[in-house]
Amino acid sequence: MNINDFLPKAYTHTLIDDSVSYEAPSNIALIKYWGKHGEQLPKNPSISFTLSNCKTTTTLSFEALEEELDEGYDFEVFLDGEPEPGFEPKIEQFFNRINKYIPFLRQYRFKIETSNSFPHSSGIASSASGMSALSLCLMQMENLMQPNMSIEHFNEKASFLARLGSGSACRSVNGPLVVWGSHESIEGSSDLYGINYPYKINEVFNDYKDTILLVDKGEKQVSSTVGHNLMNNHPYAVGRFEQAFEQILNIIPILENGNLDAFIHLVEREALTLHAMMMTSSPYFILMKPNTLQIIEKIWNFRRETEIPVCFTLDAGANVHVLYPESHEQRVLDFIKNELVAYCQNGHYICDSVGSGARKL
């Protein structure tokens, strides 16, 4: 697929008014995307687990306008039933980026009603699940106007659009493992959209668990756009991008043979590398909190003492994602309750596991 394949063909059906709904999950990267160029294109390929419980549900209602708008868009956004004008600038920017691929945006009045399964102030970014859900709703509209569209095209274009809203959102359409970014060893991979990981996945990764420890629920100190841009003049950027390409090669046999020692080494190294990039940019910043480090230390001790293959990964924030196979769920949850909850803000954490992607409602 190249970019022109996402320009729409002539529509065969006209829509007057209706609504469409989708739920889309969040995702957690094992190999991280940090650094972009052009229009939301990644500097390196990444791979993520699609989650299951952390998700956004969006209903897009539309009503044809009498006349197409010359500029701007006619939309309002509601979060949990309340108007949320704070989301408008990001959606307007998104619409500007996708207008040439979804040319009917100026022909309708839209109402976007959205809600997240996780608390807004959890420090979990809703942009991945939110942009994915909205993109899927728009694709559903396009599909109604062009009913002979294939499922492959539907999903690829939904991911392509989601990427233009928030890079990692393109990994929130499919599941359980999604690759975004072109890599010569991953057939079908593309910088333009995420694809389902195309090779063998060991059964140990079926229903892998992710318990998200909410260490700091505050607003992000640094937006991800600013963070990605800091990779542009970063002294270690070239080495980092090369490493990520290598890590994709390294993870292929691990995902097949289920070697959890190697998996843990790769995943934790990726998380710490992401934060090392932030700590060594100019300006530099630290997104981990003291409790993030306490938790990491406790996980390492627990793993050493019990030999249970539990590890952590981090997003661009202080929260810790604790990853482990389902077979160890009870022991790990006991450990979390007894030893880690004390480091979570108000004792809060979210139990999630690997999921299979977005769903039409």
Which residues of the shown chain bind ligand PMV in the complex (CB under 6 A)?
29, 32-34, 46, 127, 166-168, 224, 274, 315-316
Smallest gap from Cβ 261 to ligand PMV, in A, equals 23
Three-state DSSP at 139 gives helix
Strand partners, 180: 46, 194
153 vs 321, beta carbon nearer ligand PMV: 321
Provide the minimum distance between the beta carbon of 354 and ligand PMV in the complex, in angstroms, as a whole number.
15
Shortest reach from residue 112's CB to ligand PMV, in Å: 19
Please, which residue, 46 or 52, has the CB nearer to ligand PMV?
A: 46
Q: How far is the CB of 40 from ligand PMV (least distance, A)?
A: 8
Q: How far is the CB of 231 from ligand PMV (least distance, A)?
A: 11
Residue 44 DSSP code: S
Of 140 and 166, CB closest to ligand PMV: 166
Q: Nearer to ligand PMV by C-beta: 260 or 274?
A: 274
Q: With respect to ligand PMV, which residue has the nearer C-beta, 93 or 306?
A: 93
Kind and range of the H or E run holding 273:
helix 260-279
Residues counted in the chain? 361
CB atoms within 10 A of CB 8: 15
Please name which of 290, 361, 3 lies closest in space to residue 163, comparing C-alpha atoms: 3
Of 117 and 224, the one with the shorter C-beta distance to ligand PMV is 224
Q: Provide the token pair at 332.
A: 């790990």
- Phi and psi angles of residue 133, each rounded to the nearest 5 degrees, phi first: -60, -45
Nearer to ligand PMV, 141 or 170 (CB): 170
Give me the residues paired with residue 195 across strands. Answer: 179
CA-angle at 254, arms to 248 and 258, nearest 5°: 150
Residue 351 CB, shortest distance to ligand PMV, in Å, is 20
In the bound complex, what is the minimum distance in angstroms from residue 359's beta carbon to ligand PMV?
Answer: 21
**Strands in the chain per DSSP E:** 17-31, 36-37, 41-42, 46-64, 74-79, 82-83, 108-116, 177-180, 194-196, 209-213, 311-314, 320-324, 349-353, 359-360
Q: What is the C-alpha separation between 33 and 31, in angstroms, rounded? A: 7
